């Protein structure tokens, strides 16, 4: 559980594994500031009711261990210890008040869980603070916390971009290729930008955009009123201070690419629970923190996260399917295959096998939609490739057409063709062998420009006709060369 300046969040993981399924996640707006400003804070207040509700959920699900952290809202307030004692007495939960550096560090390892190969400056904007973290080739170099949260800035009489730049420049004057954005205010800006450019996906996680395009977009935002009127939306409100901070970050650090993350502190706390399970005290020094989490960095660097997450998602057992036989059969059919596409093949077989237990009325599109919209730690291209493969393999024509339209806007031609080939081969395997796909009873050797089909038995004419039609489609897709 995370008690922040703007909201209280809770997440429940199935077990202490970094690829563990998140079985519950929710957040509620909570004005902790107003509670702390009361003369007596041991009263009935929405903040307490939210915590009580989460504890009710924990008890219903059977949660055994609860880890609760608090950030800037309690870090600098003189009533923080009183609030902490009340929570302990009422609910038996001990709140760990993180220092700015500890919050920044945990947020960054949470980011690394959702986006591999982080390299650049990480910015986590909340209501009470702005955390800045320097990361070089997935190694955390330095962390700092600035009192530039959106609520903190509201208390200032005058605010300018020059003032924000001055505060940020105290952190570093070094330029960075990438800027990683974490925090609700940044994500709202991203949602509006995606609407502005008619981006085909709605998922903000791992969305990447050239920094110059963001600066041009910010220049278009004359006022919050214009934004809301333009998009006829009252649900989201762009925070003017957040746009000012974003512009300052891009200009001060000479950013080239902006990357948005839905992963942050709560995922970082989960990583901490996995690798420091005995409530070990977090060191304050970055180097000591790096040593504490050295096994995490090795895991993220070495593991095939796409395969691992898909396996955990559907509780896949490796003995159930000979994945490498399918990989060996499909790879020669692809255009310029690489290791990344091998991961896609493995993940696709795992997920297709999962659909065998699902009624055909629900099977057609739910997996593809889930991959596109959920916070799985995939890039947008990985999402679209995997969704297109699954659509071709198990979905109806309507779903295939919709995802194909999205794929053509996002994927390079080679990736698009390879996705269609993989999906078609898996569909062909289903026609010949049915569910589950344990090992292929056929082979598809390539003979010059032609694909041969070798089966262990003679196929019925109707199946043969369908298979030949799909093989012709694969040959047509293979004819493309970049």
Residues 52 and 144 in one domain: no
Cβ neighbours around 343 below 10 Å, total = 20
Q: Examine the domain organization and report whether 108 and 164 are in the same domain.
A: yes
279 within a domain of the structure (yes/no) = no
Residue 419 lies in a domain: yes
Q: Are residues 398 and 360 in the same domain?
A: yes
CA–CA dist 257, 254 (Å, integer): 10
Per-residue pLDDT of the chain (482 residues; tens, 9 = 90+): 999 988 999 999 988 888 888 889 999 998 888 899 999 999 999 999 999 999 999 999 999 889 999 998 898 889 999 999 999 999 999 999 999 999 999 999 999 999 988 999 999 999 889 999 999 999 999 999 999 998 888 877 778 899 999 989 877 667 899 999 999 999 999 999 999 999 999 999 999 999 999 999 998 885 555 554 444 343 457 888 999 999 999 999 999 999 999 999 999 999 999 998 777 788 888 999 999 999 998 888 765 677 777 877 777 777 666 888 999 999 999 999 988 899 899 999 988 888 776 666 565 577 888 899 888 888 999 999 999 999 998 877 888 899 999 999 999 999 999 999 999 999 999 999 988 888 899 999 998 778 999 998 899 999 999 999 999 999 999 988 64
Place of tokens 């925090």: 183
Question: Is 280 a member of any domain?
Answer: no
Are residues 356 and 317 part of one domain? Answer: yes
Claim to verify: residue 105 and residue 233 sit in the same structural domain: yes
Neighbours of 408 (CB within 10 A): 13
Three-state SS at 283: coil
> Is the domain of 317 the same as that of 461?
yes
Q: What is the domain extent for residue 74?
A: 2-97
Domain count, the chain: 3
Domain of residue 42, CATH code: 3.30.420.40
Asked if residue 209 and residue 124 are part of one domain, the reply reads: yes
Cβ-proximal residues to 178 (8 Å cutoff; 6+ apart), any chain: 118, 119, 120, 121, 255, 256, 257, 258, 259
Q: Are residues 93 and 149 in the same domain?
A: no
Residues 360 and 458 in one domain: yes
Residue 288 inside a domain? The answer is: no
Q: Are residues 6 and 117 in the same domain?
A: no
Q: Are 179 and 121 within 8 A, CB to CB?
A: yes
275 occurs within a structural domain = no
Cis peptide bond prior to 92, omega within 30° of 0: no
Residue 471's nearest CA partner among 412, 439, 427 is 427
Angle at 472 between CA 470 and CA 475, to 5 degrees: 115
d(C-alpha 393, C-alpha 387), whole Å: 10
Q: Distance (Å, rounded) from C-alpha 52 to C-alpha 90?
A: 9
Q: Residue 473: enclosing H or E segment and its boundaries?
A: helix 461-478
Full-prediction pTM beyond 0.95?
no
Q: Answer yes or no: is 276 within a domain.
A: no
70/176 same-domain check:
no
């Amino acid at each position: 559980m995370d008690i922040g300046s703007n909201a209280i969040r809770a997440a429940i993981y199935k077990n202490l594994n970094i690829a563990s399924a998140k079985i519950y996640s929710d957040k509620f707006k909570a004005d902790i500031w107003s509670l702390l400003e009361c003369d007596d804070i041991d009263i009935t207040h929405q903040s307490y009711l939210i915590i009580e509700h989460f504890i009710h959920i924990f008890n219903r699900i059977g949660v055994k261990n609860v880890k609760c952290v608090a950030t800037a809202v309690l870090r600098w307030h003189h009533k923080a210890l009183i609030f902490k004692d009340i929570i302990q007495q009422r609910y038996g939960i001990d709140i760990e008040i993180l220092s700015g550096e500890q919050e920044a560090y945990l947020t960054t390892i949470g980011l690394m869980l959702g986006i591999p190969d982080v390299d650049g400056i990480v910015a986590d904007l909340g209501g009470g603070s702005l955390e800045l973290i320097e990361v070089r080739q997935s190694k955390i170099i330095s962390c700092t916390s600035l009192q530039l949260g959106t609520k903190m800035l509201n208390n200032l009489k005058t605010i300018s971009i020059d003032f924000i730049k001055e505060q940020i420049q105290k952190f570093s004057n070094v330029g960075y290729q990438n800027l990683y954005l974490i925090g609700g205010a940044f994500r709202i800006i991203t949602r509006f930008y995606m609407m502005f450019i008619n981006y085909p996906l709605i998922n903000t996680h791992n969305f990447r955009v050239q920094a110059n395009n963001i600066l041009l977009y910010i220049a278009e935002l004359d006022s919050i009123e214009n934004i809301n009127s333009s998009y006829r939306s009252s649900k989201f409100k762009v925070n003017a201070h957040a746009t000012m901070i974003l512009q300052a970050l891009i200009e001060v650090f000479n950013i080239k690419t902006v990357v948005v993350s839905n992963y942050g502190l709560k995922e970082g706390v989960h990583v901490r629970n996995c690798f420091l399970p005995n409530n070990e005290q977090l060191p304050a020094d970055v180097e000591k923190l790096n040593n504490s989490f050295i096994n995490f960095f090795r895991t993220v660097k070495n593991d095939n996260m796409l395969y691992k997450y898909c396996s955990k998602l559907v509780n896949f057992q490796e003995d159930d399917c000979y994945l490498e036989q399918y990989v060996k059969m499909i790879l020669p059919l692809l255009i310029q295959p690489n290791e990344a596409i091998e991961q896609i093949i493995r993940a696709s077989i795992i997920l297709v096998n999962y659909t065998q237990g699902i009624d055909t009325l629900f099977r057609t599109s739910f997996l593809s939609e889930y991959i596109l919209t959920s916070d799985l730690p995939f890039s947008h291209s990985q999402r679209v490739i995997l969704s297109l493969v699954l659509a071709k393999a198990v979905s109806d024509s309507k779903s295939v057409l919709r995802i194909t339209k999205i794929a053509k806007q996002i994927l390079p031609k080679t990736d698009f063709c390879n996705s269609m080939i993989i999906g078609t081969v898996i569909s062909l395997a289903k026609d010949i062998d049915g569910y589950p796909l344990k090992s292929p009873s056929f082979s598809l050797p390539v003979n010059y420009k032609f694909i041969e089909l070798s089966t262990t038995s003679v196929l019925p004419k109707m199946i043969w006709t369908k298979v030949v039609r799909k093989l012709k489609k694969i040959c047509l897709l293979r004819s493309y060369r970049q």
